[in-house]
Amino acid sequence: MKIFKMESSKHVILCTIFLSALTLFSCSTEEPSRPNILFIAADDLNTDIGCYGNNQVKTPNLDRLAKMGVRFDNAYAQQALCGPSRASIMSGLRPNTTGFVRLNDNLRKLKPDIITLGQFFQNKGYYSGRVGKIYHYGNPSEIGTDGHDDPLTWQERYNPVGIDKIHEDSIIRFPGGKTGIKGNLGISMSYWDPISDDSDHTDGMVTDRAIEMMKRNKEKPFFIAAGFFNPHCPYVAPKKYFDLYPLEEITMPDLDEAKRDLEDVPAMAVQRDTKNYPYYFDGITVDEARKCKQAYYASVSFVDAQVGKLLDALEENKLLENTIVMFWSDHGYFLGEKGLWYKRKNFERSVRVPLIIAGHGVSERNKIVNQPVELVDLYPTLVDLSGNQVPKELDGKSLLPFLKNLDYNWDKPAISQVHHATNAQGYTIRTKRWRYTEWNGGEAGYELYDHENDPDEIVNLANNPAYVSIEKKLRAELRPYTKYD
């Protein structure tokens, strides 16, 4: 073998440049670091939180997360019911696409070959783990079980059980207090405020396990889903969170005045509630409803504290910069507005949800998007934000452009639906200004609200001659999403 000696400094310089270029080329062809994903869910959480403008509700950690990224001011669930909403999020498909429209439908039976969000990232080499409620669970009846989970979505699942489940007999139920109604706590007005630590409760255990999952898997890309059961009823949280809300500062709308908001809506719009005023159960007093609202707010602050612990863990483990953090709720919630309680409505209060995205790939900071977006958009957003190709069969659209540039031109409306039965359905479309709703294709009535002038949806403009052209336009936009047979 011949060895050639570089005689001149010119040759040395050229060789150095060549080797440097070769090194640079080799580095540029390496696969980029794959971002982690922390997927945080709350149950039945409306937008009564600080960063959404409710100054009474104390949520410093969600406010902190919003300052780190982008808050979507008009994000909407596809169905204001846990099972269908969560299946839609995890599949990236609308309820009518999957056929999952009832609470206890089974996504895998309806779509055996579906690639869920967790499966997608498993296929990309991610660890996929869940703790708590992501798919539907009976709450609190199925706490500690896999509920209606999809096992193929995850490599690891954990179902903690806290004192909120273990000591259900301590929960005060209205009407009647400790000797009150028995039955399904998951559709009740009830609370408990034990002197306890966060980690004594199921949601505190969710946080602890999610942090352990992060630490254990921080050397590889992870998709970790932390699903909190609060603030779903029964409203149970440590007493220190109740103490944030003196009962005398909790106000309730006047019931008679609130109910007048519904005088001009179709009967089907409130068909599950009209026999149960006030506030869903007969016999509930205003003071008892006020106590439940206090408990709901306490549960929200409890969830907020858990979010803070998760963010702290990301920072302490130097994971925040390379982790996408997404916080969402499955649907909104009534707390006496319009004389209603709970969900399962096509009103703004029921279908609007908090949605915050921060962390890796989010260029914007402390910014707000006002265009309507949907929870069905979460799947394609995470895929896009992680540098992968969005599957063409998904019904949603990636929100990544908003995370880079708030002035992105977006003209997609938000579609939600209620499915009481095949012959009792309602669909609603939300644009930046308008909400249009129809029941049984219009045979059971219409609704039209101008959110520019009527954000609380008090005046139904449907069939008003001055708005016929707007109603016609929105009806045509909604039609491709409806299915009545």
Backbone angles phi, psi at 79, to 5 degrees: -155, 130
CA distance linking residue 102 with residue 112, whole number of Å: 18
Indicate which residue of 82, 148, 201, 331 is catalytic: 82
- Bond prior to 231 in cis (omega within 30° of 0): yes
Q: Token match 């010119």: residue?
A: 10
Encoded tokens for 245: 């809300």
Backbone phi and psi for residue 278, each to the nearest 5 degrees, phi listed first: -90, 150
Whether residue 82 lies in the annotated active site: yes
- Which one of 136, 148, 232, 331 is the catalytic residue? 136
Q: Can you tell me which residue has the tokens 């910069």?
A: 321
How far does CA 79 lie from the centroid of its chain?
A: 12
| Annotation marks residue 15 as catalytic | no
d(CA 150, CA 353): 24
- CA–CA dist 112, 100 (Å, integer): 13
Catalytic (active-site) positions: 82, 136
